[in-house]
């Protein structure tokens, strides 16, 4: 879990995370929306054993932040910015 | 968009920004492909619109990036944010993905300036949510204005840990423990490098000041920790530090780890360029000359992806590469030679402390001595036990172990596990890590969906190849 360092006056972007609606500041990453504004501590489950996983590297390397964005699976939440009307779903499916 | 460029720069950290700006200033057509939404790389991430509160904490060194970003913006180089390069060809062609679609561009020269990453080191519990890399969380603070939930434990080795502890402390986050795994004997191997480092007293003094400050600000500061683990069911709840066979447990909502920095070599390895092994920092780095030239005339490497020397050095290296390219392409002015000389001098000055710091913080010898149950490959959930069993059943090549166990075959494409796989195999077989062939890297080096791959807009020659194959 992460906490915003300040109040973020402008929360003008509306998104959903697992169908729940949130107002978040523009320009933040999907990872930030999930961990810092959506009250979640994880982004997906692991492919083999279904363990909870959360962003580990925050620089686009580890792929622990994969989520479904607007119906497209396996998007790196740390490298995508929020957009008004975006639907984010934490990936809860195992592979194969 | 134009498809032909004189120079294509991959990455917009200090090296990429300096190189691209300098090339463009000298009249070359420059395209910059950057995965991030704005220039800066990790060190100067979000420099163009940083929040005041974060800016106050990051201070003077971070601000250095502002000038660079501005220079890039006004240089005339075409800057493409959120663009992931996924293939670089020896003839200067680069495929990249933007907004879910891919295309190919061609450069007379390609500069790989993709920087470095924290060395991924497996330990018990490292896949738990709440465990993250220290430098990464600092980058997340820069881009997204978020701090991790306290109490925070920080564990590992290297100056970045101090930096991150300082940032969190100033932002009011409780750092309850700091577990330093730097072996106390490291100072002996670093001593021979002290003399040149003394010429940068400013740098050393800053390090000492940071250390003192951290010791004062964190709950407990423990040196000589041999290893650590994260404990929890679905999230980290505690951290255990081991020292002289004794375990200390502290409660933690977040564990930040750091075990040094290694160059990102995905493209130089995809291109099958020659790499060298650094025995002190234990990593592979591309074999390049002082201008960043590789054995392929079209391909250059600049900044930390060539060798980890830090942000200021990366900037200098980027500019040095730009001047070398200008000379090759018949651009640049009469002053270039003089300028190149002065840049090399500045770089040498910048590197005075490097051997000292590298030796001081060289990876601890027990890094790969993880317990059997520890997950090495996070993506495919392959444990150390599986790897060791394969080695003892006679598999001696990392590629074989990868094929059988799937270690390194998940979405991160081995970025998180390949170095540990090699280290574990080396210690099992009694070989040196550098004598084991590293895993192959094949394009696409990014997870591009099959549909996107099939629909990629390629340049004529490759398009013909694609339809005929
Ligand atoms: S957090 Fe590691 S790739 Fe996104």
Note the pLDDT tens digit of each residue in B189-237: 888 888 888 888 888 888 888 888 888 888 899 999 999 999 999 999 9
Burial B323-333 (b: 16+ CB within 10 A, else e): bbbbeebebbe
Q: How far is A15 from chain B (nearest CA, A)?
A: 16
Which of A48, A61, A81 lies closest to B415 in CB terms?
A61
Asked whether the beta carbons of B136 and A32 are under 8 A apart, the reply is: no
Residue B171, pLDDT score: 96
Question: Which residues 6+ apart lie within 8 Å of B378 measured at CB?
Answer: A46, A53, A56, A62, A64, B126, B127, B410, B412, B416, B417
Q: Tell me whether residues A59 and B117 touch, CB distance under 8 A.
A: yes
Inform me whether the pLDDT recorded for A94 exceeds 70: no
Q: How far is A29 from chain B (nearest CA, A)?
A: 7
A45: contact with B, CB 8 A cutoff:
no
Asked whether the beta carbons of B14 and B314 are under 8 A apart, the reply is: yes
Q: Tell me whether residues A58 and B136 touch, CB distance under 8 A.
A: yes
Bridge pairing between strands B382-383 and B375-377: antiparallel
Residue A96, pLDDT score: 43
Question: Which residues 6+ apart lie within 8 Å of B297 measured at CB?
Answer: none
Q: Tell me whether residues B381 and A57 touch, CB distance under 8 A.
A: no
A46: contact with B, CB 8 A cutoff:
yes
Question: Which residues 6+ apart lie within 8 Å of B208 measured at CB?
Answer: none
Cα B73 to Cα B75: distance, rounded to the nearest angstrom: 6
A93: contact with B, CB 8 A cutoff:
no
Counting Cβ atoms within 10 Å, is residue B255 exposed (0-12), middle (13-18) or buried (19+)? buried
Q: How many CB atoms lie within 10 A of CB B202?
A: 8
CA dihedral sign, ordered B154, B156, B161, B166: positive
Residue B213, pLDDT score: 87
Q: Tell me whether residues A59 and B146 touch, CB distance under 8 A.
A: no
Residue B467, pLDDT score: 46
3-state secondary structure of B421: helix
In whole angstroms, how large is the CA radius of gyration of chain A? 13
Cis bond upstream, residue B151 (ω within 30): yes
pTM for this prediction: 0.96
Rounded to the nearest 5 degrees, what angle is found at the Cα of A41, between the Cα atoms of A37 and A45? 125
The rounded Å distance from CA B412 to ligand 1 centre is: 9
Integer angstrom CA distances of residue B464 from B91, B156, B457, B469: 16, 51, 12, 9
Residue B279, pLDDT score: 93
Residues of chain B with pLDDT under 50: 467-469
Instruction: Give the DSSP H/E element, type plus range, for residue B71.
Output: helix B52-74
Tell me: the pLDDT tens digits for A68-82?
999 999 999 999 999
A27: contact with B, CB 8 A cutoff:
yes
Which of A4, A42, A47 lies closest to B145 in CB terms?
A4
Question: Which residues 6+ apart lie within 8 Å of A27 measured at CB?
Answer: A81, A82, B37, B49
- Closest atom, ligand 1, to C-alpha of A65: 4
Window 161-180 of B, Cβ < 8 Å to A: 171
**Which residue(s) pair with B105 in the sheet?**
B94
Cα B136 to Cα B155: distance, rounded to the nearest angstrom: 14
Bridge pairing between strands B220-222 and B175-180: parallel
A57: contact with B, CB 8 A cutoff:
yes
Q: Tell me whether residues A54 and B130 touch, CB distance under 8 A.
A: yes
- Residues from chain B contacting residue A62 (CB–CB below 8 Å): 120, 378, 412, 415-416
- Closest atom, ligand 1, to C-alpha of A61: 3
B343: contact with A, CB 8 A cutoff:
no
A8: contact with B, CB 8 A cutoff:
yes
Q: Tell me whether residues B143 and A4 touch, CB distance under 8 A.
A: no
DSSP E strand stretches across B113-192: 116-118, 131-133, 146-148, 152-157, 175-180
Counting Cβ atoms within 10 Å, is residue A52 exposed (0-12), middle (13-18) or buried (19+)? buried
pLDDT band at A5 (very low <50, low <70, confident <90, very high): very high
Residue B463, pLDDT score: 59
Q: Please give the domain boundaries of chain B with CATH numbers for all domains.
A: 4-117+262-332 (3.50.50.60), 120-259 (3.50.50.60), 375-431 (1.10.10.1100)
């Amino acid at each position: 879990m992460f906490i915003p360092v300040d109040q973020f006056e402008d929360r003008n972007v509306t998104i959903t995370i697992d169908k729940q609606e949130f107002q978040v500041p523009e320009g933040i990453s999907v990872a930030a929306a999930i961990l810092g504004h959506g009250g979640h501590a994880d982004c997906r489950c692991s492919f083999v054993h279904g363990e909870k996983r959360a962003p580990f590297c925050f620089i686009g390397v580890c792929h622990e932040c994969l989520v479904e964005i607007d119906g497209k699976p396996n998007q790196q939440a740390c490298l995508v910015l929020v957009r008004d009307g975006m639907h984010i779903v934490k990936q809860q499916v195992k592979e194969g | 968009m134009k498809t032909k460029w004189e120079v294509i720069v991959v990455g917009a950290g200090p090296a990429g920004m300096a190189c691209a700006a300098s090339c463009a200033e000298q009249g070359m057509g420059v395209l910059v492909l950057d995965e991030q939404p704005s220039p800066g790389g990790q060190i100067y991430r979000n420099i163009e619109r940083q929040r005041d509160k974060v800016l106050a904490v990051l201070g003077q060194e971070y601000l250095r990036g502002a000038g660079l970003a501005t220079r890039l913006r006004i240089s005339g180089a075409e800057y493409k944010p959120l663009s992931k390069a996924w293939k670089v060809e020896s003839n200067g062609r680069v495929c990249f993905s933007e907004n879910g679609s891919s295309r190919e561009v061609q450069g007379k020269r390609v500069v790989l300036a993709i920087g470095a990453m924290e060395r991924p080191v497996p330990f018990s519990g490292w896949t738990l949510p709440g465990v993250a890399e220290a430098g990464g969380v600092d980058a997340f603070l820069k881009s997204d204005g978020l701090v991790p939930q306290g109490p925070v434990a920080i564990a590992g080795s290297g100056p970045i840990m101090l930096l991150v502890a300082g940032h969190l402390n100033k932002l009011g986050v409780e750092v309850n423990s700091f577990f330093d795994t730097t072996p106390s004997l490291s100072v002996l191997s670093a001593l021979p490098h002290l003399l040149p480092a003394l010429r940068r007293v400013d740098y050393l003094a800053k390090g000492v000041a940071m250390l003192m400050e951290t010791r004062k600000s964190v709950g407990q500061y423990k040196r000589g920790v041999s290893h650590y683990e994260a404990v929890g069911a679905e999230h980290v709840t505690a951290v255990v530090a081991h020292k002289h066979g004794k375990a200390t447990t502290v409660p933690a909502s977040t564990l930040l780890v750091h075990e040094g920095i290694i160059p990102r070599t995905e493209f130089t390895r995809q291109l099958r360029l020659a790499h060298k092994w650094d025995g002190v920092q234990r990593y592979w780095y591309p074999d390049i000359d002082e201008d960043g030239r590789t054995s392929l005339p079209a391909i250059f490497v600049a900044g930390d992806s060539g060798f980890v020397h830090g942000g200021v050095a990366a900037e200098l290296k980027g500019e040095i590469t730009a001047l070398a390219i200008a000379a090759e392409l018949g651009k640049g002015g009469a002053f270039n030679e003089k300028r190149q000389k002065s840049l090399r001098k500045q770089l040498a000055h910048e590197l005075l402390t490097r051997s000292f710091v590298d030796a001081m913080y060289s990876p601890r010898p027990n890094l790969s001595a993880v317990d059997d149950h520890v997950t090495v490959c996070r993506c495919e959930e392959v444990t150390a036990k599986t790897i060791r069993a394969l080695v003892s059943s006679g598999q001696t090549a990392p590629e074989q172990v990868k094929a059988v166990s799937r270690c390194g075959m998940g979405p991160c494409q081995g970025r998180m596990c390949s170095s540990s796989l090699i280290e574990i195999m080396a210690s099992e077989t009694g070989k040196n890590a550098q004598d084991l062939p590293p895993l192959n890297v094949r394009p696409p080096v990014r997870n591009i969906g099959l549909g996107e791959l099939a629909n990629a807009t390629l340049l004529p020659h490759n398009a013909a190849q694609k339809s005929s194959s």
